[in-house]
Amino acid sequence: MSTHSSRIAARIMVAPSVALLLLWMVVPLVMTLYYSFRLYRLLSPDRTGWAGMRNYTWFFQSPDFWLAMGNTLALVGGVLVITVVLGTLIALLIDQPVWGQGVLRILVIAPFFVMPPVAASILENLFMHPQNGLFAAVSMALGYEPILYLQDYPMWSVIAIVSWEWLPFATLILLTALQSLSSEQIEAAEMDGASAFGRFRYIILPHMMRAITVVILIQTIFLLGIFGEIYTTTQGGPGSASTTLPYMIFKQAIVAKDIGRAAAGGIIAVILANIVAFFLMRGIGKHLDT
């Protein structure tokens, strides 16, 4: 039971933290907006002034931009599909009582704790390398030419590497959901003569929907910003074949030292992330209510 004055007091008391949080979020955003309209190259300090929309038009006119947008969405979508589908299957598999279950689960989850550049280097040099890699050795043993993963299928390779890293995360969340499913329900369905697929389709899957939603939401946030894996393996190439939006911004900021363009790219990325978030929340967010 709160009185009018106590509510005011409460608001005054939380005001500093709210203000601080606002500052925390608004200041960098406003600065980025400001710089995105400025001519600002670190190495040419004599050329300054307002750029108008030039930094933005540069992005939209760049031949790489739409490719980078497509690649960013392909990366997010591809990894989501792979991790959710495989994650569900692995979770179902290791949910079965088997000998050494604990150790098995730790092994399955382990790749998540490998740092992204390390994971990318491992997969690039020990597996996908055309001379020294395991896949090359296998193809040669079978009498085939080694596949040049990073050169001929750069985007697929990046998706594979990122999926390898995020699969354990998805598995872990989905496994937890699976374990909270009461076995009585399954047994009852079994006695009623429901097939294995039927049990999965009508009992297990609906039960896991919330967990799947969480996996999709959390992963999307992180996958939109994937950078380290591309930097270590393909450097956005060959050409621009595996350039994503974050990588394009990195190149403007760090290689070209063009702060104006990089800021404009940052704003575009923020808008893209919001659009994706909007559709995600509308499309699958409703599963969170149940």
Interacting residues with other proteins (CB under 8 A): 41-45, 47, 58, 63, 129-131, 145-146, 148, 150-152, 234-241, 251-252, 254-258
- Residue 290 CB, shortest distance to other proteins, in Å, is 47
- Residue 151 CB, shortest distance to other proteins, in Å, is 5
Spatial distance between the Cα atoms of 67 and 53, rounded to a whole number of angstroms: 21
- Residue 49 CB, shortest distance to other proteins, in Å, is 12
Looking at the Cβ atoms of 38 and 251, the one nearer to other proteins is 251
Looking at the Cβ atoms of 147 and 181, the one nearer to other proteins is 147
- Residue 42 CB, shortest distance to other proteins, in Å, is 4
Contact between 41 and 255 (Cβ < 8 Å)? no
φ/ψ bin of 133: left (φ > 0), alpha (ψ from -120 to 50), beta (otherwise): beta
Looking at the Cβ atoms of 159 and 215, the one nearer to other proteins is 159
Looking at the Cβ atoms of 58 and 222, the one nearer to other proteins is 58
Looking at the Cβ atoms of 44 and 185, the one nearer to other proteins is 44
Instruction: Please compute Rg for the chain using Cα positions.
Output: 24
- Residue 84 CB, shortest distance to other proteins, in Å, is 30
Spatial distance between the Cα atoms of 111 and 36, rounded to a whole number of angstroms: 38
Residue 215 in tokens: 């996996």
Q: How many CA atoms lie within 13 A of 125 on its CB side?
A: 7
- Residue 149 CB, shortest distance to other proteins, in Å, is 8
